[in-house]
Amino acid sequence: MPRTNDWNDWYLFACVAQSGSFSRTAEQLQLPKSTVSTALARLEKRLGQRLLERSTRSLRLSEAGFTLLAEIAPLFARLEDVADHLHGQIAAPLSGTLRIAAPYEFASLHLSPVLCDIMQAHPALHIEVDVVSGQIDPISSAYDLSFVMTSQPLADSSQVSKRLYTLQQGLFAAPALLQRLGRPHHPAELADWPLLGAASALPWQFRHVTGQHYQLESTLLLQTANAGLRLQAAIAGRGVCLVSRNFAATAQAAGQLELLLPDWSLMPLKTYALIPNRSLQPTKTKLLLDGLEQRFASLERRELPSTPQAD
């Protein structure tokens, strides 16, 4: 096999493999799509192996592609971290792309105002946010940072997890629904009610102020990880939704929703930042985390029903 030091081809392969798209890679790197596809074809020819299986609608890694990506992706990530770290030391405006994966509720409540501040301070920094519902590995998915909101323990992974925030959850329903079905006084009364929630939160675990525990196992009328969709369905009177109290605060203040079972608490919703396990933290990642921590500290001072947490 002829030896090659054209590392651009290797880098472009890693970018395409992680983004899953020739077009997206070309757009991110501001290159013609033909340049990216030619580089991949050239690398495959030099290695004598097909790295990507292409079709008109999909792009996936071959076995050789998976192996190569696992070997070279950490190397290019390390180079980018070193360049970013040195760039940050001279306090220059940030550029490049910050790629984030976050749940809808977290992105809507907390991520959007911090990102707006970053965009104002660093207009050359491009930001991509994908809305996700579960735990994402930021390294294999090419994210600089991902967030997860869960009431369950985190799955084991090689990434660093930083616990940012804990939100109290609650059950909310529209006044019209309560007029029709009555007001429940015990979680067991909800067994036959229309319930709106996420599958990951089942079963609903309750704890009374006296210490009594209750577990509600019931079928969800609307099952979705999208907290905004659950909230809107509850406002429309379609059922009882489980969301964080912060997320429902505006609708509750407007009289659109009422809190149910105030003497019963549910499992808190913990928010984690998942960070690739690297020796150097990129400046853009640190900038976002610092902004979020400042926001959470501000919320605590305003005495919202949520509490920042230490690592």
pTM of the model: 0.58
Q: What is the pLDDT of residue 135?
A: 73
Does the pLDDT of residue 303 top 50, yes or no? no
Residue 31 neighbours by CB distance under 10 Å: 15
**Each residue's pLDDT tens digit, 214-254:** 999 889 999 998 888 999 999 999 999 999 898 899 999 99
Q: Which residue has the higher pLDDT, 135 or 295?
A: 295
Residue 309 banded pLDDT, cuts 50, 70, 90: very low
Identity of the amino acid at 227: A
Does the pLDDT of residue 69 top 90, yes or no? no
Domains of the chain: 7-86 (1.10.10.10), 93-167+270-308 (3.40.190.10), 169-267 (3.40.190.290)
**Each residue's pLDDT tens digit, 2-38:** 555 578 888 888 888 877 788 888 887 888 888 888 9
SS3 string, the chain, reads: CCCCCCHHHHHHHHHHHHHCCHHHHHHHHCCCHHHHHHHHHHHHHHHCCCCEEECCCCEEECHHHHHHHHHHHHHHHHHHHHHHHHHHHCCCCCCEEEEEEECHHHHHHHHHHHHHHHHHHCCCEEEEEEECCCCCCCCCCCCCEEEEEECCCCCCCCCEEEEEEEECEEEEECHHHHHHHCCCCCHHHHCCCCEEECHHHCCEEEEECCCCEEEECCCCCEECCCHHHHHHHHHCCCCEEEEEHHHHHHHHHCCCCEEECCCEEECCEEEEEEECCCCCCCHHHHHHHHHHHHHHHHHHHCCCCEEECCC
**Each residue's pLDDT tens digit, 162-197:** 888 788 899 999 999 999 999 999 999 999 999 999
Q: What is the pLDDT of residue 190?
A: 95
Q: What is the pLDDT of residue 46?
A: 87
Q: What is the pLDDT of residue 213?
A: 94
Q: What is the pLDDT of residue 310?
A: 39
- Distance, in Å, from the CA atom of 293 to the CA atom of 308, rounded to the nearest integer, reads 8
